[in-house]
């Protein structure tokens, strides 16, 4: 199994632009029949993503849940600031560090923001993914496939 980590280059994106891009990535993975775990820095960020996904139109709705809102397997997209409770293929990482559970995923989506502190954190995550055996690549944010 090939392990892949993709860093999307978001330039000077605002927090809202980042979260909208995360929702687009989760939607794309869901449409490809992949189960997704969105790992957030904190509970507030998880709730912001939840609200963004709920506000999408009916044709592009993505079934999702926060911790404790679904059964054992959960919805196709789970959003949490806690470690995952079920198996999934795709991790969308919004945390400043690589979570300990990252190696259980075959694909990781991560982000590079142009602010210096966030760029440094992204470089550290990049190295950690490489050390864990992931093939790491970068893509411009406009390229979502």
DSSP assigned state of 96: S
Give the model's pLDDT for residue 74: 73
Residue given tokens 């954190």 in the structure block: 121
Please tell me which residue, 61 or 25, carries the higher pLDDT value. 25
Contact 134, 108 (CB under 8 A): yes
Predicted confidence (pLDDT) at residue 72 exceeds the cutoff of 70: no
Tell me what pLDDT residue 70 has: 67
State the CB neighbour count (10 A cutoff) for residue 104: 13
Determine the Cα–Cα distance for residues 37 and 46; give it in Å rounded to an integer. Answer: 11
Q: What is the pLDDT of residues 88-110, one digit of tens each?
A: 999 999 999 999 999 999 999 99
SS3 at position 21 = helix
Q: What per-residue confidence (pLDDT) applies to 37?
A: 96
User: What CA–CA distance (Å, rounded) separates 49 from 103?
Assistant: 24
Residue 85: band (very low, low, confident or very high) from pLDDT cuts 50, 70, 90: confident
> With bands split at pLDDT 50, 70 and 90, how would you rate the model's confidence at 144?
very low
Per the listing, tokens 């969105």 go with 38
**SS3 category, 110:** strand
pLDDT, position 1: 64
Domains of the chain: 4-140 (3.40.50.10110)
Residue 115 pLDDT class (50, 70, 90 cuts)? confident
CA distances 142 to 38, 57, 71, 100, 137, Å, are 20, 22, 35, 29, 15
pLDDT band of residue 71 (cuts 50, 70, 90) is low
Three-class secondary structure of residue 39 per DSSP:
strand
Confidence band, pLDDT 50/70/90 cuts, at residue 68: confident
């Amino acid at each position: 199994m090939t392990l892949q980590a993709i860093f999307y280059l978001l330039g000077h994106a605002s927090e809202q632009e980042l979260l909208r891009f995360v929702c687009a990535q989760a939607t794309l993975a869901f449409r490809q029949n992949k189960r997704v775990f969105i790992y957030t820095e904190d509970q507030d960020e998880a709730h912001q993503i939840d609200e963004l996904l709920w506000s999408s139109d009916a044709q592009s709705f993505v079934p999702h849940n926060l911790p404790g809102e679904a059964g054992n397997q959960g919805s196709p997209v789970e959003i949490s600031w806690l470690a995952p409770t079920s198996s999934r293929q795709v991790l969308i990482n919004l945390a400043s560090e690589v979570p300990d559970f990252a190696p259980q995923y075959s694909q990781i989506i991560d982000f590079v923001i142009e602010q210096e502190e966030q760029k440094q954190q992204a470089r550290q995550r990049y190295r950690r993914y490489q050390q864990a055996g992931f093939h790491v690549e970068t893509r411009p944010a406009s390229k979502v496939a």
